[in-house]
C-alpha cells in the first residue's frame, strides 16, 4: 500500500503545480520546452527561475529524507551522453517530454500528446529490454 501512496502523492503534487500554473499564468509546464527557452529564447528570466525552483525542490527532499531506492553508481559517460543527445534532439523535434506531453497533454486529452506518450513509453520499454 505504501508503495502506491508514495508515488501517488508525488503525482498529485506534480498535478497541483501544473494545474495552478495553468490557471494563474495560462501556460503549460513542459520541462524540455522550458529548458530550451533558457537557451534560445530572449525571455530567459522566467524559465530560469522555474529551473532554479525545480533544482531546489528536486534535491532538498532527498536531503531531508531517506530514499527507498539508492541512486545508481555513476554510469559510463558515453551512455549518458548518447541518452542526453537523443532526449535533447527528440524532445524538440517531438515538441515535448514526459511533463509537456505525458502530464499536461494527456490532462487536456490532446491527441498529439496521447500518441507521443504511447510512442516514447514503447520506445523506452523496448530500449530497456534490449540494453539492460
Near other proteins in 49-68, by CB under 8 A: 49-62, 67-68
The residue from 1, 44, 66, 101 that contacts other proteins (CB under 8 A) is: 101
Residue 22's nearest CA partner among 95, 86, 99, 91 is 99
CA dist., res. 19 & res. 26, Å (int): 10
Site for other proteins in 13-32 (CB under 8 A): 13-32
44 touches other proteins by CB under 8 A:
no
The residue from 1, 44, 66, 102 that contacts other proteins (CB under 8 A) is: 102
Residue 63: φ, ψ to 5°? -75, -35
Half-sphere exposure of 121 (CA within 13 A, CB side): 10
93 touches other proteins by CB under 8 A:
yes
121 touches other proteins by CB under 8 A:
yes
Residue bearing cell 503525482: 11
1 touches other proteins by CB under 8 A:
no
Amino acid at each position: 500500500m505504501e508503495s502506491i501512496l508514495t508515488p501517488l502523492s508525488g503525482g498529485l503534487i506534480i498535478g497541483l503545480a501544473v494545474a495552478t500554473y495553468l490557471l494563474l499564468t495560462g501556460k503549460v509546464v513542459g520541462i524540455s520546452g522550458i529548458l530550451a527557452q533558457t537557451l534560445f529564447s530572449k525571455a530567459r528570466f522566467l524559465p530560469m527561475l522555474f529551473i532554479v525552483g525545480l533544482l531546489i525542490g528536486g534535491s532538498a527532499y532527498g536531503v531531508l529524507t531517506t530514499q527507498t531506492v539508492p541512486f545508481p553508481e555513476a554510469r559510463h559517460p558515453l551512455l549518458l551522453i548518447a541518452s542526453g543527445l537523443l532526449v535533447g534532439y527528440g524532445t524538440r523535434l517531438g515538441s515535448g517530454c514526459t511533463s509537456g506531453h505525458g502530464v499536461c497533454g494527456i490532462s487536456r486529452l490532446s491527441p498529439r500528446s496521447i500518441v507521443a506518450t504511447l510512442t516514447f513509453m514503447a520506445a523506452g520499454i523496448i530500449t530497456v529490454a534490449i540494453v539492460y
